[in-house]
Chains A and B, each alone.
Chain A
Amino acid sequence: MKLNKSNLLVLENIRREYTVGGTTYPILRGIDLTVKTGDFLALMGPSGSGKSTLLNIIGCLDTPNSGKYNLKDNDVSKMTISDLAEVRNKHIGFIFQNFNLIPSISVLENVLLPSFYLGNEDQKKAEELLVLVGLKDRMHYRPNDLSGGQKQRVAIARSLINNPSLILADEPTGALDSKTGHEIMELISSLNRDQNKTVLMVTHDMNIAHMAHRIIELSDGKINK
């Protein structure tokens, strides 16, 4: 596969297996995937199909056993743990199913956290993002004082603070009721539409998946053609 300027990430023959008690379980069995800047992809598939593992590898939280992964023309598969942390920090924004906010610090501090680890805390930007997600008036609250939808909005603001080019969402509406879920999806879609963010989303929900430009279906560790 040719590398193209507008290719944000390219996966080539990615394999991942886990060994538990001497038995090896293959999870990903040769994934080829190219995502262009500005794409909006939905990853679907039954549980155990490997979509979360794939998302983790794309998110630099996990490394493949073999295969090649290029992100922004950098070979991620050869990076050190410390470099991977830097890539996650600078280039990737995470949105999780269960929000993953730190309960002991305020909403504002949660949003600021990735920029703190970047060494460049930008309070003004954080406040702007909280305006964007409609939670400016809650910025001094603790996460546990917010509703599920509000928590996910905070997580979205946090994912944007370091201005990453790639947003990874793992079942972002999984813990929300359908009305709130749609509001969150609207917000995520607008990031792709208005800010040209590349979005990769894992979901079970066909309705939500249809908001994406492209649906990738996984089964048994392979992409269904």
Chain B
Amino acid sequence: MNDIKFTTKLLKLSVLALLSNPFRTMLTMLGIIIGSLTIIIVVALGEGAKRDIEQQYSSMSVTTILVNAPSTVEGARSKLNYDDVVELKAIDSLKTVIPQLSGKVQMQSEGNSSNLSVLGTTSDVKELANLKLISGKFWDDEVDGRAKVAVIGAIVAEELFGSRTADVVGKTIVVGKKEFEVIGLLEYKGGSVGPTTIDDSIFTPYDSAYRYILGINGRFNINAQAKDVSRIGEAVDQMSTVLRETHNLKAGTNDDFRVRDMGSTVSSAVNSSRTMGILLASVGVIVLVVGGIGIMNIMYVTVTERTKEIGIRKAIGAKEEYILMQFIFEAFLMSFIGFLIGAVLSFGAFFLLKQFAVAYVVVWWSYLLSFLVTISIGLFFGYYPAKKASALNPIDALRYE
């Protein structure tokens, strides 16, 4: 009990010492404040980026393999087209292969008009992107291959019909200049299939999209799914071989297509966001170290200024450890209060990030991390000056003017 009282009194001494020069204390804490704030924000940004990536790729499994045509291949147009889909379907390591013809088109219905995406594909898209219908159904590729029918995403329904309820099925949308019948409504999904976001798209049979809407202006790519994670590499190789054959590419020439498996795309996205996070976190730590050096500097000045006081305290019986504790408390308080201010400022920073629509996720452990790093640095840099103060010879210290 006495120990607690004693410690409280020592803490009070440290507080008084810090308050005796509030401006200097504030300046000293500035580095600590910025450092602890940086750590909190960096973690939140990192988590935000991670969430973004997860959301973006949520509807794609790691077995997804995308084939697209680079915009220009040595000036020549890519030969990638619908016929490749048929060839690729023969590969036994692939479960599904769909063509994707996509583009943005003005759509109208019931007086509403909006610029939305069209995706011409086969009904296999339902399985591949794991789409769920609220009502209606997908088209039959054999029967409706060229029908003017569409399955619409949740946002499309909201934009054009003002609601996403089952009664939109059977209604008509004017896509470009053609009328399409709505035959299905999708659940809200959040995510994308290949380059196309799901919720603000309409899905139509491939031929219908080509003939009536997009033509050669559509962006074409192929979306395939491997049967198993362990066969992705094999599938990617086989796809490249088949495509080179069907495109009649001679040995030694470059591919006029690009095959990417989503597993490695996602993991490289995750990796790069992690690298970024580590980079930013190191900036936070560097700021804190500089802040810690600031604490050390000021504490040296303080110890010198208070040499006489230390001498008096020692002469009347203060043991070395009490003097040490008193100064360590000062370093602790500066880093602790610096952390608290940084934590409070983080709310303001998050408010700003929100205004600028920057993705972030606040996680509790970022505060814990910031707290631990900040306090350790404060104590680390505070220890040496405190040690110096406690080791002063009382006679010399008393004579000091």
State the A residues within 8 Å of B (CB): 56, 59, 61-62, 81-82, 85-86, 88-90, 94, 96, 100-102, 104-105, 113-114, 116-121, 158, 162
What's the Cα separation between A120 and B6 when bound, in Å? 9
Chain B interface, number of residues (Cβ within 8 angstroms): 23
* Interface pair B9/A116, CB less than 8 Å apart: yes
Q: Give the contacts of B15-50 with A (CB-CB under 8 A).
A: 16-17, 20
Interface check B2, CB cutoff 8 A: yes
A59 contacts across to B, CB distance below 8 A: 315
Q: Give the contacts of B301-315 with A (CB-CB under 8 A).
A: 308-309, 311-315
Given contacts A62-B395, A119-B2, contact A113 B313 (CB under 8 A): yes
* Interface pair B317/A102, CB less than 8 Å apart: no
Interface check B278, CB cutoff 8 A: no
What's the Cα separation between A85 and B320 when bound, in Å? 8
Q: Who on chain A is nearest to B308 by CB? A: A100
Identify 6 new A-B residue pairs, CB closer than 8 A, beyond the known A94-B316, A101-B312. Answer: A100-B312, A104-B17, A104-B20, A113-B313, A117-B317, A162-B317
A114 contacts across to B, CB distance below 8 A: 316-317
> B324 to nearest A CB, angstroms?
12
> A19 to nearest B CB, angstroms?
15
Given contacts A56-B395, A85-B320, A119-B2, contact A102 B315 (CB under 8 A): no
**Could you list 23 examples of A-B contacts with CB < 8 Å?**
A59-B315, A61-B394, A85-B319, A85-B320, A86-B319, A88-B317, A89-B316, A89-B317, A94-B316, A100-B311, A100-B312, A102-B312, A102-B313, A104-B16, A104-B20, A105-B16, A114-B317, A116-B6, A117-B318, A119-B2, A119-B6, A120-B2, A158-B316
Interface check B322, CB cutoff 8 A: yes
> B309 to nearest A CB, angstroms?
5
Instruction: Specify which of A61, A101, A119, A162 is in contact with B395 (CB 8 Å cutoff).
Output: A61
Instruction: Specify which of B16, B312, B313, B320 is in contact with A81 (CB 8 Å cutoff).
Output: B320
* Interface pair B320/A113, CB less than 8 Å apart: no
What's the Cα separation between A59 and B313 when bound, in Å? 14
Interface check B160, CB cutoff 8 A: no
Cβ proximity bits B315-331 to A, threshold 8 Å, 1 near / 0 not: 11111111000000000
